Structure 1
Amino acid sequence: MKSILVLACLLSALCLAAAAPDAEIVDLVSDVNADSYSYKFETSDGTKQEQHGSLKSLGPEEDALQVAGSFSFVGDDGQTHAISYVADENGFQPQGEDIPHL
């Protein structure tokens, strides 16, 4: 299960690297432990992201990674777009005004 935690941290780093090429990091905080992690960052172009994850016991020999977080960015329209989410044994569950409701 620790490999899943490491993978989640690496994916988060890829998201950070995907920021606009001319944007600079103005704030970055991270904390990685054996069974949990958290990070947040902000870039000079107004992009913000934060996430925390931890292992959740589903049974005597079964753990799941549960993650919660949010991100926001300023779109080409000049508006700030924001999404919050939870990802756990029930799947990825995003929320935000920019997500169409079916």
Structure 2
Amino acid sequence: MFKFVIIAVLLGVSLAFPQHHEEEPYVTREANQVNPDGTYGHEYELSNGVAVQESGVGGQYATGGFRHISPEGEEIQLAYTADENGFHPQGSHLPTPPPIPEEILKAIEYIQAHPTPEEQADREYRLQHNQ
């Protein structure tokens, strides 16, 4: 999981360095902290507007984000969490899925309203044992 986070951050940073840069970016701010209890935090900023930050508990979860300026001059920001359920990025530049077609929504409603005998038995069992 954290290898994916590192790869995602490195990818984001690499996107911030278009091939036509005249001057190599340099670090303008950096902070790192690793604690005995496994918590950590790190952040840095570069002269070209790239900023990266992450904190968390090693091997358990992380939250963070980065920003950079696209070749088109737009500021791109990505925030993320990573935990036992995977990597969860958020950013206005990320694609969104298309809406679910009305026919599919109707089919899902029908299936939920007409459970099989096994599904109905499972629902009843859960109601009895969760109260």
Answer whether TM exceeds 0.5 for this pair.
yes
| Aligned residue pair count | 85
* Bigger CA radius of gyration: 2
One of 84, 92, 97 as aligned partner of 2:92? 97
Distance 2:56 2:80 in 1: 12
* 1:22-44 alpha-carbon deviations (Å, 9 max, x no partner): 11000000101231110010000
In the TM superposition, structure 1's runs of 4+ consecutive aligned residues that sit over 2 Å from their partners are: 17-21
Displacement of 1:84 in angstroms is 0.1
- Counterpart in 2 of 1:43? 46
> Runs of 5+ in structure 1 lacking a partner?
56-63
Displacement of 1:65 in angstroms is 1.3
Q: TM-score, normalised by structure 2?
A: 0.57
Distance 1:41 1:96 in 2: 20
Q: TM-score, normalised by structure 1?
A: 0.72
Greater helix content: 2
Greater strand content: 1
1:65-76 to 2 correspondence within 5 Å?
Answer: 65-76=60-71
Root mean square deviation, CA, Å: 2.6
Identity of aligned pairs, percent?
26
> Runs of 5+ in structure 2 lacking a partner?
18-22, 98-131
- Counterpart in 2 of 1:31? 33
Distance 1:83 1:28 in 2: 19
Displacement of 1:93 in angstroms is 0.3
